[in-house]
Amino acid sequence: MSNLQIFVILSGIVLTVLIVWYFWFAPRVQTRLTVSATGMQEAAILVKGGYSPDVIVVQKGRPVRLTFTRQESSACSEQVLFPDFNQNALLPEGEPVTLEFTPEKAGEYGFQCQMGMLRGKLIVE
């Protein structure tokens, strides 16, 4: 086996480890919402190729108000769904759309576009 082949194999192993680490194990940036004076937990979320922020930490039992603004025309992200809260909204391009609900139980709830290409997570504590 030539050195080049060994190098390619080793690169393959390194890449595999990197992919697994980066997509599954690396810690994600969490955005913790603060509770405003009125008890509302608010966040503005930008929709462009993904949700920013995409991991949102909120407190249970307090209303959450999320304002989505979609800044792309790709039809994929035209809808955002919170299946666990039975919430969904059409996101016309450039128009802020607000979703409001109160998570009552702690847990991790996903949100996503209709076909699941863009994903985010709502962590209720």
Partner 1 sequence: MTQRDPVCGMDIAPESAAAERKHMGQTFYFCSQSCVEQFDREPHSYVMTSTTTGFNPERSLARIELPVSDLPLVRPALELEKALNSLEGVDQVTVNAGAGLLRLDYDPLKVNIARMAAAVRASGYTLEGLQTRLGIENLRCASCVKFIEDELKSTPGVLTASVNIATQEATVEYLPQSTTLADLKHAIETWGYKPRPATSETPIDKQEEAHALEYSKLMRKFWFAAVISVVVMITAYYQVVPILRNLSMDSLRLLWGVTALLTLPVMFWSGSDFFTGAWAAFKHRSANMNTLIALGTGAAWLYSTFAIAVPSVFPEGTAEPFYDVVAVVIALVVLGQALELRAKGQSSAAIKKLLGLQAKTARVIRDGNEMDLPVEEVLVGDVIQVRPGEKVPVDGVIVEGSSAVDESMLTGESLPTSKKIGDEVIGATINKTGAFKFRTTKVGKDTALAQIVKMVQDAQNSKAPIARLVDTVSGYFVPIVMILAVWTFVIWFVIGPQPQLVYALVTSVTVLIIACPCALGLATPMSLMVGIGKGAEHGILIRSGEALQTARAIQIVVLDKTGTITKGKPELTDTVIADRGQWKMEELLRLTASVEKVSEHPLAQAIVDGAQVQKLALTDVQDFEAIPGHGVSAKVEGRNILIGNLKLMNRENVVLGELEEKSKSLADDGKTPMFIAIGGKAAGIIAVADTVKEDSAEAIKALQGLGIEVVMITGDNLRTAEAIARKVGITRVLAEVLPEDKANNVHLLQAENKKVAMVGDGINDAPALAQADVGLAIGTGTDVAIEASDITLIKGSLKGVVTAIEISRATMTNIYQNLFGAFIYNTLGVPIAMGLLFPFFGILLSPMIAGAAMAFSSVTVVGNANRLRGFKPKFSAK
Q: What are phi and psi of 18, to 5 degrees?
A: -60, -45
CA distance 56 to 7: 41
Among 30, 34, 44, 83, binds partner 1 (CB under 8 A): 83
Of residues 19 and 106, the one with the C-beta less far from partner 1: 19
Order the strands of the 97-101 sheet from edge to edge.
51-52, 41-47, 64-70, 97-101
Shortest CB 79 distance to partner 1, Å: 7
What are the structure tokens assigned to 51, written together?
């949700």
Could you say which DSSP state residue 23 is in? I
Shortest CB 70 distance to partner 1, Å: 10
Among 41, 54, 56, 111, binds partner 1 (CB under 8 A): 54
Shortest CB 69 distance to partner 1, Å: 14
CA distance 96 to 13: 44
Tell me if 68 sits within 8 A of 99, measured CB to CB: yes
Residue 107 binds partner 1, judged by CB under 8 A: no
Shortest CB 116 distance to partner 1, Å: 4
CA 49 to chain centroid, in Å, comes to 11
Binding residues vs partner 1 (CB under 8 A): 1, 5, 8-9, 11-12, 15-16, 19-20, 22-24, 26, 28, 36-40, 48-52, 54, 72-75, 78-79, 81, 83, 86, 88, 90, 92-94, 110, 112, 114-119
